[in-house]
Amino acid sequence: MAAATELVHRQGVERTTLADIAKAADVPLGNVYYYFKTKDDVIAAVIDANAQRVSTVLALIDANHQSPKDRLNALVRELASQSVTVAQFGCPLGSLCSELDKRAENSHPAVDKLLRLPVEWAEAQFRSLGREDAHDLALDLLAAYEGSALLANTMRDPGILSGAAVRIERWVNAL
């Protein structure tokens, strides 16, 4: 599963084959076919693995930070900590969602949960700050990150994402 998730992030869904996954995981191709009969099975598993990773990160932030602003800033710092990888391969969540949306066949029905998870979590943080516009603020936060991630990847410049993180934290602190 780790090999599939990593390859899909680095190569994209369309360029990743079951044979690639077998090679990266150093297992026989038959073993991969045992778990994934089709590419759609791989996609579903990658979506689930990414969603679990996001849920785990958000739970850790909740456990380690007391105030909603501290939690929001911790999320921004966590996202920015991946700036080098994001500059090289794109945001693991945003890139996957965008690529699956462009597939000729229907994208996986669970793909929207990848971006819904951090939006709903951020909305709860903004609501805890007493903000009636919590949903809009959560969308703005994720849009600022995803837009910066796209620019950082396109321009191969992790500094774009790092700089955006500083500005997003200032914005959160000013609320």
Domain ranges within the chain, ordered by starting residue? 47-174
Q: 4 Cβ partners below 8 Å, 6+ apart?
A: 16, 21, 25, 36, 42, 45, 46, 49
For 38-54, b/e burial (b = at least 16 CB within 10 A) is ebeebbbbbbbbbbeeb
| pTM to 2 decimal places | 0.92
Confidence band for 107, pLDDT divided at 50, 70 and 90: low
Predicted pLDDT at 105: 66
Confidence band for 94, pLDDT divided at 50, 70 and 90: very high
CB contact at 8 A, 118 and 55: no
- Give tens-digit pLDDT for 26-81: 999 999 999 888 888 999 999 999 999 999 999 999 999 999 999 999 999 999 99
Q: How far apart are CA 133 and CA 70, in angstroms?
A: 19
CATH of domain 47-174: 1.10.357.10
Q: For residue 57, count other CB atoms closer than 10 A to its CB.
A: 17
Q: How far apart are CA 154 and CA 165, in angstroms?
A: 17
- Mean per-residue pLDDT of the chain: 94
Largest CA distance in the chain: 55
- Give tens-digit pLDDT for 120-141: 999 999 999 999 999 999 999 9
Q: How many residues does the chain have?
A: 175
